[in-house]
Amino acid sequence: MPYTHEIRVTWGDCDPARIAYTARIPWFALDAINAWWEHHLGGDGWFQMELDRNLGTPFVNMNIDFRAPITPRHRLVCDVAPSRLGDTSISFRVNGFQDGILCFEGRFTCVFIVANTF
């Protein structure tokens, strides 16, 4: 079952066309993935993983398919779930919805590293 993370899209996230600026969409998805980590690691997200656990997770792949515009009119609801766990990597699926409409489908892969050796 996916973890659900809500994001408040604001006017400042938008371009002159009044929809979310394209570069904000990966940021929304990464925010949702960080919230997934926090949910499953007792409140620890990437910051704590890096500094307190000496575990880095740099991304090696990001892929997003856009389905509908994102606007400030409704909350962006992101469903996050791991889609693959490798020996040294994890892949996530992130689907973003507004008002029940699929806005984007994303696939993200990061690798696990010892942070202080990177």
* Rounded distance between C-alpha atoms, residue 77 and residue 98, angstroms: 6
* Rounded distance between C-alpha atoms, residue 97 and residue 99, angstroms: 7
Domain ranges of the chain: 3-117
The separation between the first and the last C-alpha atoms of the chain, rounded to the nearest angstrom, is 33
The share of the chain scoring above pLDDT 70, in percent, equals 100
- Kindly report, residue by residue over 57-99, the tens digit of the pLDDT: 999 999 999 999 999 999 999 999 999 999 999 999 999 999 9
Mean pLDDT, residues 43-56 taken together: 97
Tokens at 44, concatenated: 């620890």
Contact 64, 43 (CB under 8 A): no
Pick the CATH number of 3-117 from 3.40.50.720, 3.90.550.10, 3.10.129.10, 2.160.10.10: 3.10.129.10
List the one residue out of 95, 97, 92, 93 whose CA is nearest residue 69.
Answer: 97
Mean pLDDT, residues 48-53 taken together: 97
